[in-house]
Structure 1
């Protein structure tokens, strides 16, 4: 009989337990949640995500189906739906946000030596957002249209490996262009955006920070819109049509259409 680690335990071993515990004391101060540790909470929600569980009851039933294996998955407490409901409500979300930031930083370090896309010699990021549907009965605070509940996930992806480097969850009605105010701008980087992010005041701030933005005009049009900084007079903002980009045609942006996630 195989006595090695389970697949789930191997995946979760990528998250350092001691590093997780270092982030816990400053953010997990709710007394009633300490009976169910933040680590077990993290494991339970990760298990639900990886195995496509659909409800708290589903998580509990799946873990209870093999109680002897629960310890080998990394759990130190039994997971019940009532406990999960309580800790999901009471445990600060900032704890898990801190863990996500640490993991994103580690991923960036792992891919630091990877070549940049399109031979740009600079990092390229794609900005996009997506809706996450919720139950209106369970999440009335996320009411969007009166009959639907949703939140919006805004993501900044590093195109070298398509992993997130910055993410924010907002209410569903939050405009994409407003999120540009929170995006960290890296000098000399390229930001790939769509028309939902077009606001000339905000695009000017990107140019003044020394970065570039590229906008795909349309799904069938290879034309791109580029904003860039000028070396004279305080980084004045310019708006220029780069032209037609086809595979094999070299331009200032280089080699074809930039993918947008």
Structure 2
């Protein structure tokens, strides 16, 4: 594998068979003008790994790897006009479905860090993030809806749990969840108007971060008209950020610590959003159409999934930011990917009987 670049070896880890099935299903290679869907995927992944700032950078970057392109499964580097045209016209849902296909397979890796709970319910961690766009360039990008409105259409199965921040503290929405026998753990607003019905006993000599565990009901007529049942209110102390976090839930039987840990697990989404915004090319876009923006977002998600899989497989304790930076600096270096992941700072082994010797550039 040392005869292949790091980028080639990374691309070879992708399930091309599944991608081909999706291409056939969605017919995205019709009228491809010599720039097929696989070449498009590789080009946009290169955009993410190399942090290319334009379609010209993508084209020139891949052209600089002449001789390695066949290992990427592509015949030639695309022109900037080809990348631009297909970003505008090839259906972005191809990349969306491929992301979820990869998520299903890569998510089975035992090395992936997962928060484990003793409850059997399916857990959904809900949050959103904003990507700023200039309306003079992206005239289709209107700020249409609030976080809680976007949550209305999310299907949840009976007995599942939704965990969310205070932006999703909508009593109509919570009532709809409860009526479908869906549990929720949501951070409530500081001005919540309620009446304490019962105080639950706090755990002794353990879980000292649990400050309050009580049963409450809403006091305001408008609020009570939207949600007339009782809530359970749990207040916890967040030592890291030195703040009190107040939660409401319709789950009455779990321990207060379980509710606390459920909300704590939601912070992984905030970390995820920070990672893709800071580490990948998602704050600016190489195309201005809605389809081009969506393709760049979905290929960014595919990239972060690949990076997390590489990090999970490595014996070396990579920080994701360092892994991204090192791959970016060595993207076309020919070195064994797995050896490099495990021992990035070791001197590479020299092959015996080298036929060629690098000449001096300066005497």
Normalising to structure 2: TM-score of the pair?
0.52
Matched residue, 2:321: none
Secondary structure of residue in 2 paired with 1:131: coil
Pair 1:238-2:229 in alignment = yes
Q: Which has the higher strand share?
A: 1
* Structure 1 stretches lacking a partner, 5+ long: 145-171, 228-235
Measured against aligned partners, the alpha-carbon deviations of 1:191-240 in whole angstroms (never above 9, x if no partner) come to: 21122222223222322333211112479x9779999xxxxxxxx97342
1:58-207 matches, cutoff 5 A? 58-110=57-109, 116-142=115-141, 144=142, 172-207=143-178
Checking the alignment, whether the CA contact within 8 Å between 1:225 and 1:239 is kept in structure 2 is no
Checking the alignment, whether the CA contact within 8 Å between 1:216 and 1:224 is kept in structure 2 is no
1:175 Cα deviation (Å)?
A: 1.8
1:23 Cα deviation (Å)?
A: 0.8
Checking the alignment, whether the CA contact within 8 Å between 1:208 and 1:237 is kept in structure 2 is no
Distance 2:92 2:117 in 1: 37
CA RMSD between the two structures: 3.6
Distance 2:215 2:20 in 1: 45
Distance 1:93 1:225 in 2: 47
CA separation of 1:108 and 1:87: change in aligned 2, threshold 3 A: same
Matched residue, 1:147: none
Checking the alignment, whether the CA contact within 8 Å between 1:24 and 1:38 is kept in structure 2 is yes
Measured against aligned partners, the alpha-carbon deviations of 1:175-202 in whole angstroms (never above 9, x if no partner) come to: 2112222223133332211222222232
Secondary structure of residue in 2 paired with 1:54: coil
CA separation of 1:64 and 1:137: change in aligned 2, threshold 3 A: farther
Normalising to structure 1: TM-score of the pair?
0.70
Of the two structures, which has the highest relative contact order with CA contacts closer than 8 Å and spacing of 6 or more? Answer: 2
Secondary structure of residue in 1 paired with 2:128: strand
1:253 Cα deviation (Å)?
A: 4.9
CA separation of 1:137 and 1:107: change in aligned 2, threshold 3 A: same
Matched residue, 2:35: 36
Larger-Rg structure: 2
Measured against aligned partners, the alpha-carbon deviations of 1:13-66 in whole angstroms (never above 9, x if no partner) come to: 332111111111231356432521101101111111122111111111211222
CA separation of 1:239 and 1:9: change in aligned 2, threshold 3 A: farther
What is the total number of aligned residue pairs between the two structures?
222
Distance 1:87 1:191 in 2: 37
Q: Which has the higher helix share?
A: 2
Distance 2:25 2:80 in 1: 26
Checking the alignment, whether the CA contact within 8 Å between 1:190 and 1:212 is kept in structure 2 is yes
